[in-house]
């Protein structure tokens, strides 16, 4: 059972455009939603993360929008640049309560920014 | 430099030949984890460890073993590798004991089992 669904699988955006990647989750116990960026030949690296007590978090050109009632969150990349071309993973985990859950990842989005 | 290291980075082996992929972190993190990455499937957790001598299964543990004898090291062991274990493997660590939080990933180990 996939707990985090990510779309689209691949995305091509023109330089300067807005890239939007969407994720939906099922487990209402999730309370931490990070996005990871992965360049070819490298391990994923944390890009930006949000907790459900806010609806939006912005860091530079990257914004997470979070809709708790719809159980959805999305990554927006403004003024997309060729250097943003990478694979993006959304993820979710449970930071509160008992247990030691790991991150549950979406399947990834391969983003290409065309010059 | 704070980092997670993995060795080897590339490995080609044959079915049934035992192998170990090492993982080490220098950030004094309590939580360590192994993932495999396959096309179209994303990252799936194999095993994780909350602290020394504490390990537990993730989503896809079959065919793998781990150990955590020291805080900094978390080796992944394939006792009898099979072709379906051909994959890209990542080790990760997190400061928050018992919690995923921000995970720092190693550079990956590409394993091919013939």
Q: Is the dihedral of CA B33, A29, A32, A82 positive or negative?
A: positive
State the nearest Cα–Cα gap between B61 and chain A, in angstroms: 13
- Which residue from B43, B50, B104 is facing A89, i.e. has the nearest CB? B43
Mean predicted confidence (pLDDT) in A43-51: 92
CB A109, CB A19: distance < 8 Å: no
A99 in B contact zone (CB under 8 Å): yes
Which pLDDT score, from 0 to 100, does residue B95 have? Answer: 77
State the nearest Cα–Cα gap between B36 and chain A, in angstroms: 11
State the nearest Cα–Cα gap between B82 and chain A, in angstroms: 23
**Strands A4-7, A19-25: parallel, antiparallel or unpaired by DSSP?**
antiparallel
What would the two tokens of residue A109 be?
């989005």
The 3 state secondary structure assigned to chain A is: CCCEEEECCEEEEECCCCEEEEEEECCCCCCEEEEEEECCCCCCEEEEEECCCCCEEEECCEEEEEECCCCEEEEEECCCCHHHCEEEEEEEECCCCCCCCCCEECCCEEEEEEC
CB B103, CB B33: distance < 8 Å: yes
Pairwise CA distance, residues A112 & B2, whole Å: 30
For each of chain B's 114 residues, which pLDDT tens digit applies? Answer: 889 999 999 999 999 999 999 999 999 998 899 999 998 899 999 999 988 998 999 889 999 999 999 999 999 999 999 999 999 999 999 876 444 568 899 999 999 999
Residue A26 predicted with pLDDT over 50 = yes
- List of chain A residues whose C-beta atoms are within 8 Å of the C-beta of residue B42: 6, 89, 105-108
Which pLDDT score, from 0 to 100, does residue A76 have? Answer: 98
CB A20, CB A83: distance < 8 Å: no
Q: pLDDT grade, residue A52 (50/70/90)?
A: confident
- Which residue from A46, A99, A107 is facing B41, i.e. has the nearest CB? A107
Mean predicted confidence (pLDDT) in A73-84: 98
Q: Do B43 and A46 make contact, defined as CB atoms within 8 angstroms? A: no
Instruction: Rank A46-55, A92-101, B25-34, B64-73 by mean pLDDT and report only the highest.
Output: B64-73
Q: pLDDT grade, residue A100 (50/70/90)?
A: low
Q: Do B100 and A43 make contact, defined as CB atoms within 8 angstroms? A: no
CB atoms within 10 A of CB A66: 19
């Amino acid at each position: 059972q996939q707990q985090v669904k990510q779309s689209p699988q691949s995305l091509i955006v023109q330089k300067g455009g807005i890239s939007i990647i969407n994720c939906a989750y099922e487990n209402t116990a999730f309370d931490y939603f990070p996005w990871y960026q992965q360049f070819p030949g490298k391990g994923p690296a944390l890009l930006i993360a949000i907790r459900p007590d806010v609806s939006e978090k912005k860091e530079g050109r990257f914004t997470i929008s979070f809709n708790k009632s719809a159980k959805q969150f999305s990554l927006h990349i403004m003024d997309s640049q060729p250097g943003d071309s990478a694979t993006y993973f959304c993820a979710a985990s449970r930071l509160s309560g008992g247990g030691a859950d790991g991150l549950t990842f979406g399947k990834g989005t391969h983003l290409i920014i065309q010059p | 430099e704070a980092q997670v290291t993995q060795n080897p980075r590339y490995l080609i082996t044959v079915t049934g030949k035992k192998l170990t992929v090492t993982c080490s972190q220098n950030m004094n993190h309590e939580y360590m984890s192994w993932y495999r990455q396959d096309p179209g499937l994303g990252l799936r957790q194999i095993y994780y460890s909350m602290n020394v001598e504490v390990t537990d299964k993730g989503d896809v543990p079959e065919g793998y073993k781990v150990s955590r004898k020291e805080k900094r090291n978390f080796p992944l062991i394939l006792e009898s590798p099979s072709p379906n274990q051909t994959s890209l493997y990542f080790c990760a660590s997190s400061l928050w004991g018992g919690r995923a939080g921000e995970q720092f990933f190693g550079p990956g180990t590409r394993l091919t089992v013939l």
